[in-house]
């Protein structure tokens, strides 16, 4: 009997507790949710196989792999594709006032999944919460990198899925972004980011582990970006500086055994742009000079500049690259667009260490000397439909011959060129 009484008492206490929690809980006011997205299908043809993602749909540059026994370029072969994997949808959410600020949120996904192996799987593109006050705003979550679009959505308007990459930074990252209006036209932006899908490579070899972004996670320091942006009557001007730190390896091994490594590789970048968007015109010119920008899907990286035989410890030096793009679009229902981009690799700041005739480097084609792209397109917009026909020519100069340890580049180059034809149909909703 006592057991039953005890059980009854416990149930009563739980009921009272739950009732108290129900009386005191904070209930969220209703939010409005707007669904948006598009269904996108595209056919493409490449004359030269390249470095790409999403089964060649996201094309970066032609990938030189050498010649066969008869002197034929191994990758100078045509390849076709047809896909709808770029289809996406998202939700814009508007909520109640919180802490005196207008609250909103965004969630967005597409079917690019694990773009190399399973491109039909859903993946997270954006997921963030934003609070807007009269003169400031705070964003927490995952969205585009501030160097991608600056302020006022000034990113390249092109036909292809690559959105101007690798000549424009391409990166979505978890971040905390604080913007403050210095006046009616000028905004100061401060952002701290970590890496997720677009990650800095390290020298880790950890099988069966999600080690893609270990170099950033182990560093313990967020990527930092500070930008100053001016917007007035369709004109946008911006300048931003970036600092990043990674730990390329956390445990080394030398002649005396294994040792912890605290050595970081730090890098810097500066971006500036000028844009105009009004009526039928869109214009953008952008310049970026930086070190180790491979997490932005841009050429370059870093290498080992010193090595300790006893501990296996290493220090690092960065490749410095410069990228310039120009993008012009005219029209509304009928549009003509042109994109042009140029990337130049200036090599490493310090000499690389000679590991028995070879250097240790990481990045996105760190020894490529130069790459360029020209891509005109025609688009026709009718109600919810958009049709695009684009021709893209990509060129890349790969290092060949004698490797120069003083700057991490080769003395000579070999050129690879791709001609791409893209046809795309999108239904927006």
pLDDT mean across residues, the chain: 91
pLDDT, residue 6, reads 42
pLDDT (average), residues 86-115: 92
Residue 75: partners with Cβ closer than 8 Å, 6 or more residues away: 48, 49, 50, 62, 63, 64, 65, 416
Q: What is the pLDDT of residue 43?
A: 97
Give residue 8's pLDDT band: very low, low, confident or very high (50, 70, 90). Answer: very low
Question: What band does 44 get if pLDDT is binned at 50, 70 and 90?
Answer: very high
Mean pLDDT, residues 147-152: 84
What pLDDT is attached to residue 210? Answer: 55
pLDDT band for 151, please (50, 70, 90 cuts).
confident
Confidence (pLDDT) at 15 = 47
- At residue 209, the pLDDT reads 56
Global pTM value: 0.89
Residue 398 or 112, more confident: 398
Residue 405: how many CA atoms within 13 Å on its side-chain side? 12
Residue 255 reports pLDDT greater than 70: yes
Note the pLDDT of residue 10. Answer: 38
Question: Is the pLDDT at 389 greater than 80, yes or no?
Answer: yes
Q: Report the pLDDT value the prediction gives residue 115, as an integer from 0 to 100.
A: 60
User: According to CATH, what is the number of the domain 30-428?
Assistant: 2.40.160.10
Looking at the chain, the whole-number percentage of residues with pLDDT higher than 70 is 90
Residue with token string 């990459």:
165
pLDDT tens across 238-254, in order?
999 999 999 999 999 99
Going by pLDDT thresholds of 50, 70 and 90, the confidence category of residue 367 is very high
The pLDDT of 252-275, averaged and rounded, is 96
Kindly indicate the confidence band of residue 27, based on its pLDDT and cuts at 50, 70 and 90. Answer: low
pLDDT-derived band at 377 (thresholds 50, 70, 90) equals very high
pLDDT tens digits for 154-204? 899 999 999 999 999 999 999 999 999 999 999 999 999 999 989 999 999
26 falls in which pLDDT band (50, 70, 90)?
A: very low
Lowest-pLDDT range of 26-30, 59-63, 88-92, 326-330: 26-30
Q: Is the pLDDT of residue 29 over 80?
A: no
């Amino acid at each position: 009997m006592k057991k039953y009484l005890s059980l009854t008492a416990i149930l009563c206490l739980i009921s009272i507790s739950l009732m108290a929690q129900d009386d005191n809980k904070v209930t969220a006011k209703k939010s409005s949710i707007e669904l948006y997205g598009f269904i996108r299908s595209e056919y493409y043809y490449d004359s030269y196989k390249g470095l790409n993602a999403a089964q060649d749909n996201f094309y970066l540059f032609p990938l030189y792999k050498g010649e066969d026994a008869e002197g034929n370029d191994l990758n100078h072969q045509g390849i076709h594709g047809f896909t709808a994997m770029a289809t996406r949808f998202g939700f814009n959410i508007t909520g109640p006032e919180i802490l005196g600020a207008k609250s909103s949120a965004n969630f967005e996904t597409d079917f690019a999944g694990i773009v190399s192996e399973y491109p039909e799987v859903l993946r997270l593109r954006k997921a963030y919460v934003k609070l807007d006050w009269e003169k400031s705003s705070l964003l927490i979550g995952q969205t585009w990198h501030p160097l991608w679009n600056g302020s006022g959505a000034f990113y390249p308007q092109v036909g292809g899925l690559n959105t101007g990459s690798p000549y424009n930074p391409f990166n979505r990252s978890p971040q905390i972004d604080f913007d403050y209006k210095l006046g009616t036209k000028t905004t100061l932006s401060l952002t701290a980011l970590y890496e997720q899908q677009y990650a800095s490579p390290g020298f880790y070899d950890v099988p069966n582990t999600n080690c893609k972004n270990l170099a950033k996670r182990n560093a313990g320091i967020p990527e930092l970006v500070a930008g100053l942006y001016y917007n007035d009557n369709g004109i946008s001007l911006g300048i931003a500086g970036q600092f990043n730190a990674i730990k390329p390896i956390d445990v080394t091994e030398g002649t005396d055994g294994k040792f912890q490594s605290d050595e970081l590789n730090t890098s810097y970048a500066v971006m500036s742009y000028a844009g105009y968007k009004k009526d039928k015109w869109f214009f953008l010119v952008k310049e970026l000079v930086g070190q180790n920008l491979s997490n932005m899907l841009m050429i370059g990286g870093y290498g080992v500049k010193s090595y300790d035989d006893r501990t296996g410890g290493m220090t690092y030096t960065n490749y410095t690259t410069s990228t310039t793009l120009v993008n012009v679009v005219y029209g509304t229902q009928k549009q003509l667009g042109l994109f042009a981009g140029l990337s130049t690799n200036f090599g490493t700041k310090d000499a690389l260490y000679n590991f028995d005739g070879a250097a240790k480097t990481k990045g996105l084609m760190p020894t490529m000397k130069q790459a360029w792209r020209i891509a005109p397109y025609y688009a026709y917009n009718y109600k919810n439909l958009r049709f695009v026909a684009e021709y893209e020519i990509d060129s890349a100069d790969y290092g060949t011959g004698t490797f120069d340890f003083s700057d991490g580049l080769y003395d000579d180059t070999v050129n690879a060129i791709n001609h791409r034809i893209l046809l795309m149909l999108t239904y927006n909703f």
